[in-house]
Structure 1
Amino acid sequence: MATGRRDLFRAVGAASLAGLASGVPAIAAPAPAPAPRATNWRRDAEGKRIADLGNGSFLNPLISGDRPDPAILKDGDDYYVTFSTFDAYPGLLIWHSRDLVNWQPLKPALHRNIGSVWAPSLHKDRGKYLLYIPVKAKPQNDIFVAWADDIAGPWSDPIPLGLPNHIDPCHAVAEDGSRWLFLSGGDRVRLSDDNLSLAGKVEHVYDPWRYPSDWIVEGFAPEGPKIHHIGDWYYMLTAVGGTAGPPTGHMVIAARSKSLHGPWEDHPGNPLVRTTSRDEAWWSRGHASLVEAPDGSWWSLYHGYENDFWTLGRQCLMDPVRFRPDGWFEMTGGDLSQPIAKPTSGEALPHGMALSDDFSAPLALGSKWAFFKPTADEGTRVSVRDGVLHFRARGDAPSSGSPLLITAGDRSYVFECDIEIPAGGRAGLILFYDDKLYAGLGFDEDRFVTHQYGIERARPANPHGRRMKMRVTNDRNIVTFDTSGDNGKTWLRFDRGMEVSGYHHNVRGGFLMLRPGLYSARAGTAQFRDFTFRAFDPDKA
């Protein structure tokens, strides 16, 4: 069938289904074909995507890989952002920028496992930096607060606030000087003057705008309120429609008030951001904040899933904002599939970090590497000496021992490592979503072990013994494994390939991403040398 006829039938069919659902017959003209997506990212020395194109423009994602729920802080000429880190620890890595486009990782702010971290909030009030940290945990959920005198830390031990029924806090200061946390569901609660405890009960202050009932969404789920005091107005941005699920679900709405105490007036153009078609470059866009650039322009940071790559998690996106004469604002970046002109001032810091590791320096826990659901003593399992990572075994497989993982933000990449195991040990390389869903290849001294669907499967003979180089190639969710017993001079293709496009939230839940990593199991201490990572563009390889 010709492409034009197929598009016509698709559009008419969708309109007819909508008409049947509402009881009114409907016919629609064919939707215009989406503009081709730009894919001409700059690449760093490891082949990873860089948003800054070097010509006065940038191309989303701003920070690639799983960087959901961006919490951004403007602090003079400096900008800081952190993201939900869920079960990865150390967590809440702080990133630093001076131009809003190029970002450097600093240090993690959270070192003790207090639960799965969802949608933190980063603020500065009267010289003190504040992090409000909602967690899913047992025996109950809560929101914690941590503080620091320096953004680089040390950060205080998290203090529980006693808010088990809310997520997505946002700190705000009212015109009368009172301090508040705005919460999911249109609620808020007053804080003590030092911001470290509650000074009242939760109260409902806003009924969020509702989209038409026939829109395809995951659920109403009003969450992620972000409060900004700009000029004479307090603006509240809220996410509705559900965070994942259908690509057309998540969206950004706004309201405003002359007082933080309300009443709140809905934006006449709601929703300000919404994916309207699965053909768009970015799906499920929402959870937005506003920030002013060094040149006085305004921008919004939010997250979204890359088309067909739920496995990469929700990536950080940036959208230009225009304020109108009536005081309302609008996002102007369209579907974010094309390059966008950068802010015109601000120092460009070197962006990102190398993911390769020769283990010649202390292990970069919390910036490059992170454990999954670590116990209190997890850090004692790893040490670095003379270019070798020593990784003590735990459990029998990746599911029963916390692996070490990195965040890779490219559609295609290769990683490899020299691995040596002790007698009775097992180790390998993995692509890990969580302890119930992962893929990879491990070995003991006699046999390989194939990890697939989160279970251990085939056990073919291992021809290399207790030391080998192992390579994993993930080419747009098609995974292959290669091994070498002669330090990479010759490689053997492992005879089981995998397809991992379903290793994501809409299958498993948890709002995570598929992360490369390594594990050590069964007995003794495995040794890892020369971990190398390289992203690539398969269309140009």
Structure 2
Amino acid sequence: MRMVYNRRETFGLALAGGAAALGPATASGADGLEPGAGVPRFDGDWRRGFEGQRRADLGDGRFLNPLIAGDHPDPAILKDGADYYMTFSSFDSYPGLTIWHSRDLVNWQPRKAALTRNIGSVWAVSLEKHNGRYFLYIPVKAKPNGIHVIWSDHIDGPWSDPIDLGLPNHIDPCHAVGEDGSRWLFLSGGDRIRLADDGLSTVGKVEHVYDPWRYPDTWDVEGFSPEGPKITRHGGWFYMITAVGGTAGPPTGHMVIVARSRSIHGPWTNDPANPVVRTVSTDEKWWSRGHASLVEAPDGSWWSIYHGFENGYWTLGRQALLDPIRWTADGWFAMTGGDLSKPLAKPRGGTALPHGQPLSDDFRTLQIGSKWNFFRPGPGERDRARTEGGALILQASGTAPVDSSPLLLIAGDQAYRFDCDIEIAPGGTAGLVLFYDDKLYCGLGFDEHRFVTHQYGNERGRPANPHGRRMRIRITNTRHIVAIHTSGDAGTTWHRFDRGMEVSGYHHNVRGGFLMLRPGLYSAGSGAARFRDFRYEAL
């Protein structure tokens, strides 16, 4: 059976072969967010939030991974009193490094983006607070590569302009404070460098301090690639948690290893139980699990947050996962969530915030950074967009999605559809896309005379457009099967476009880049396009 969600925000049950309910439970809906609260749901299915989107909190004291669905890789988490803040690698999306907020570790809300200027492709960052000030240490793939730092006295900013720390051959910084108060950046490959007392420059040279544990050479991995170090101090020990095995490639590659030391200066001893997390079979729900951090919950229990690919859904990118841990008698820790395919008991305490956000948009305000992001924007790209009278006015750029820096969303559902009313200026071209990167996307656009079919990152057929300069387009992605419809009467009558697509290969292991397939819109050619009433619905 599966859960069915419609625009009237009610639930139904599609029963296959008269299957019996698997232990019905009742969602509390206490936060007022749950459409259809009080309607039975079934173990093994997610609770539904805004627009039917997947939501981890099951409403009965349990949660079901993913913690945050869709592409939220390399989680960097900060406990700040009763508040938790988290951000993720944002790569070529700007504004980037959106800060998420929680008070119970399970329900998360996006706030504001910390990085507004394009400095390159943003990889795994470190989010820290030191002496009352927030810091983000940001590795970027650019020309040249480097690690930058930005700071703010408030989590919502304003954040400083990026400062280049001059570390061109390293990625994945992790800020750590030693027992003597010294500040450090731990880096990929088992290296580190000292930071100045203000955290805004480095002191001395990079030094190698740790040789990561190596897996047997019979394992199927992508490569050794020791990266993503995270330092946690607990019980008189410093724990260094590292990812090895490669981020993608074989589902059994990525893994989590641990070492510890009494001092920030070493020596570091590897955990005899390494790896503490690894996907061991392609039958598992979550593939390529790794890049872990530790965090203490409101009730004093400890948890790990890391990422993984969902079995069969590389297109959704690396999703954020939550795994309970248990400290062992010998001072190490063990992950206790198994393969994360089943509901787990939530940490207790804290306050559940409304989780996620609606992806539909009436364009009364410009939600760039918290909801929408430009792909690989040039200087001044944000000036292309404004709202007016319930419409997004997007100035044309380039000739097609390949060079127009489309506006994109992160959608974390296995099946969904989105539609929008689009009006173009004479000489303009606009449309809706499923976009991996500028070389791999699909969708439908139009000018005032013809449609433009986007497939495999190319512009293909150009059949006649019967609707003129204004129409509504709908794209449905049902577990990688894509159907496109158009309407000339504001969605009263829909016409199926004569080109179906299959997009299961639109992902990193085909194209590279560590991204996800994202819904979006673009405006190209000349003039400006008007987008009205953007609607998203999980299916």
TM-score by length of 2: 0.92
Structure 2 Cα separation of the partners of residues 38 and 193 of structure 1: 51
Q: Deviations over 1:240-264 (max 9, x none)?
A: 0000000000000000010110111
Aligned AA (1:109): A
For residue 72 of structure 2, the aligned residue among 67, 76, 86 is: 67
Secondary structure of the structure 2 residue equivalent to 1:123: strand
Contact 2:301 2:347 in 1 (8 A): yes
Deviation at 1:380, TM superposition (A): 1.0
Query: 2:172 pairs with 157, 165, 168, which one?
Result: 168
1:441-470: CA deviation from partner (whole Å, max 9, x where unpaired): 000111101000000001111111111010
Amino acid at match of 2:179: E
Distance 1:39 1:68 in 2: 24
| SS of equivalent to 1:399 | helix
Partner of 1:132: 137
Q: In structure 2, what is the equivalent of residue 249 of structure 1? A: 253
User: How much does 1:45 deviate?
Assistant: 3.4
Q: Is the 1:38–1:337 contact (alpha carbons within 8 Å) kept by the matching residues of 2? A: no
Instruction: Please state how far the C-alpha of 1:390 moved relative to its aligned partner.
Output: 0.6
Residue aligned with 1:333, SS = coil
Aligned residue among 80, 87, 90 for 2:95: 90
Asked whether 1:459 is paired with 2:465, we answer no
- What's the counterpart of residue 500 of structure 2? 497
Which runs of structure 1 show a deviation greater than 3 angstroms over 4 or more consecutive aligned residues?
none
Task: Find 1:221's aligned residue among 209, 222, 225.
Answer: 225
Query: Do 1:169 and 1:184's aligned partners in 2 also have CA atoms closer than 8 Å?
Result: yes
What is the correspondence of 1:81-230 to structure 2 with a 5 Å cutoff?
Answer: 81-138=86-143, 140-230=144-234
Structure 2 counterpart of 1:17: none
Q: Does 1:348 align with 2:352?
A: yes
| Percent identity between the two aligned chains | 72
Distance 1:273 1:352, change over 3 A: same
1:42 matched to 2:70? The reply is no
CA contact (8 A) 1:102 1:349 kept: yes
- Alpha-carbon shift at residue 38 of structure 1 (Å): 6.0
Partner of 1:13: none
Q: Does 1:394 align with 2:394?
A: no
Displacement of 1:360 after TM fit?
1.4
User: Which of 50, 59, 62 is equivalent to 1:57?
Assistant: 62
Q: CA deviation at 1:44?
A: 1.3
Structure-2 separation of matches of 1:38 and 1:243: 30
Report the residue type matching 1:450 in the other structure: T
- Look up the match of 1:15: none
- Paired with 1:502 and 1:193, the residues of 2 have a C-alpha distance of 47
Amino acid at match of 1:432: F
Q: Which residue of 2 aligns with 1:519?
A: 522
Q: Distance in 2 between matches of 1:272 and 1:304?
A: 15
CA contact (8 A) 2:259 2:268 kept: yes
Unaligned runs of 5+ in 2: 1-41
Map 1:337-486; keep pairs closer than 5 Å.
337-361=341-365, 363-486=366-489
The residue type paired with residue 136 of structure 2 is L
Aligned length: 498
Check the 8 A contact 1:402/1:519 in 2, yes or no: yes
Q: CA–CA distance in 2 between the matches of 1:231 and 1:420?
A: 61
Letter in 1 for 2:51: E
Instruction: Give the superposed CA RMSD.
Output: 0.8
TM-score (norm 1): 0.91
Partners of 2:44 and 2:111 in 1: how far apart?
28
| Residue identity in the other structure for 2:107 | N
CA distance in 2: counterparts of 1:332 and 1:406, whole angstroms? 33
Kindly state the Cα deviation for residue 39 of structure 1 after the two structures are TM-superposed. 3.6
